[in-house]
């Protein structure tokens, strides 16, 4: 298959008629257009011959941003594709993108299985093809059966460092709502309340569990009650003694800290529940794992740096030196 890059006049290229995605984030498109205007289009479009010009196959956003940046010529790779192949490529590309919601990914998964049953006879086969677990495909598909209002509330799948915007919920929260709560009206009520919070929160799971167990109780009342409780910061059982002995005075997490975890706040240190200590947050910093030193390891529980790396791998699977983590410094409240 050809990989030769050519420079082609942008006016000779037309947008993709078969792209399954209709909505494009204007803010994101403007940002991409500014970048292209400054440094050019770094990644070529993939196009196919069409009538007296070409049609975009892969790179619709880059194509539109290039138009907005007033480029005259763009780098492209020209390949021959049938309509069926174009549809399939776009569906797979959409599934793998981070700026689509779990609902949109679920719709793309459903279309692939519907249009190409010989290629994707099961969720397991599809999951292996696109590089996710079977359970993730199942959850994306589940979202497509959620009430329409909940589907509209599901935020795009963003990198973990970004918070879910107010008015939205992440797709995993939406899945938990539909799994635990059977009545659509109750599902929507819970989703609306959780969407008022500006970020992901462990408290969401507690709200969902309580709303499912106490169906006659107001969701607002449940949210208020849980919001007033101190945050439960979970630790391993092996960390209990070092914390109580004031040896472990910091903890490093990969996700964005809950809004309740802020300097000056008192949180509950817990191994599940009940909590075993009260901790006052003294500082929160964000840094790459490569910059952790022996002093950090000591504060993490009296470890050497090598011991801390082994513990990290046990919990997170790998030690990626380029990974950013949030380091939460604390002191025990007597």
* Model pLDDT for residues 234-266, shown as the tens digit of each residue: 999 999 999 999 999 999 998 778 888 899 999
**DSSP characters over 255-299:** SPPPTT--TT-EEEEESSSSEEEEEEEEEEEEEEGGG--HHHHHH
Domains recognised in the chain with CATH numbers: 5-81 (3.90.1530.30), 146-229 (no CATH), 232-333 (3.10.400.10)
Give me the mean pLDDT over the 308-334 stretch.
Answer: 91
Rounded Cα distance, 57 and 93, in Å: 10
**What is the band of 23 on the pLDDT scale with cuts at 50, 70, 90?**
low
Q: What strands, in cross-sheet order, belong to the sheet with 53-58?
A: 5-9, 73-78, 45-50, 53-58, 13-14
Give me the mean pLDDT over the 91-101 stretch.
Answer: 74
More confident call, 155 vs 273: 155
293-302 CB burial, b ≥16 within 10 A, e <16: eeebbbbbbe
The alpha-carbon radius of gyration of the chain (Å, integer) is 24
**What is the band of 147 on the pLDDT scale with cuts at 50, 70, 90?**
very high
Rounded Cα distance, 110 and 105, in Å: 9
For residue 92, the model assigns a pLDDT of 79
Give me the mean pLDDT over the 263-278 stretch.
Answer: 86
Spatial CB neighbours of 222, under 8 Å, sequence gap ≥ 6: 207, 210, 211, 214
More confident call, 22 vs 119: 119
pLDDT at residue 159 tops 50: no
Rounded Cα distance, 70 and 64, in Å: 10
pLDDT at residue 158 tops 70: no
Rounded Cα distance, 113 and 125, in Å: 10
Rounded Cα distance, 295 and 298, in Å: 5
Residue 18: helix, strand or coil by DSSP?
A: coil
């Amino acid at each position: 298959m050809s990989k030769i890059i050519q420079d082609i006049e942008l006016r000779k290229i037309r947008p993709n008629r078969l792209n399954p995605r209709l909505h494009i984030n204007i803010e994101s498109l403007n940002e991409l257009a500014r970048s292209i205007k400054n440094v050019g289009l770094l990644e070529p479009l993939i196009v196919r011959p069409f009538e007296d010009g070409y049609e975009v196959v892969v790179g619709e956003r880059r194509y539109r941003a290039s138009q907005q940046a007033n480029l005259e010529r763009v780098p492209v790779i020209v390949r021959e594709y049938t309509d069926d192949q174009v549809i399939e490529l776009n569906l797979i590309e959409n599934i793998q993108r981070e700026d689509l919601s779990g609902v949109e990914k679920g719709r793309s998964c459903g279309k692939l299985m519907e249009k190409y049953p010989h290629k994707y006879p099961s969720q397991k086969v599809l999951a292996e093809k696109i590089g996710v677990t079977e359970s993730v495909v199942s959850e994306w598909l589940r979202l497509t059966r959620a009430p329409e209002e909940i589907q509209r509330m599901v935020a795009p799948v963003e990198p973990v460092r970004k918070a879910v915007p107010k008015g939205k919920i992440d797709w995993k929260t939406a899945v938990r709502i539909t799994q635990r709560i059977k009545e659509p009206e109750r599902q929507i009520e819970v989703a609306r309340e959780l969407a008022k919070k500006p970020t992901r929160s462990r408290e969401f799971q507690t709200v969902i569990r309580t709303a499912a167990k106490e169906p006659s109780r107001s969701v607002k009342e449940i949210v208020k009650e849980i919001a007033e409780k101190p945050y439960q910061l979970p630790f391993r059982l092996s960390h209990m003694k070092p914390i109580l002995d004031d040896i472990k005075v910091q903890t490093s997490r990969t996700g964005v800290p809950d809004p309740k975890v802020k300097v000056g706040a008192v949180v509950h240190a817990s191994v599940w529940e009940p909590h075993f200590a009260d901790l006052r947050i003294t500082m929160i910093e964000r840094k790459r794992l490569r910059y952790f030193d022996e002093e950090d390891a000591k504060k993490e529980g009296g470890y050497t740096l090598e011991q801390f790396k082994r513990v990290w791998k046990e919990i997170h699977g790998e030690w990626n030196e380029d990974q950013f983590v949030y380091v939460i410094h604390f002191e025990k409240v007597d």
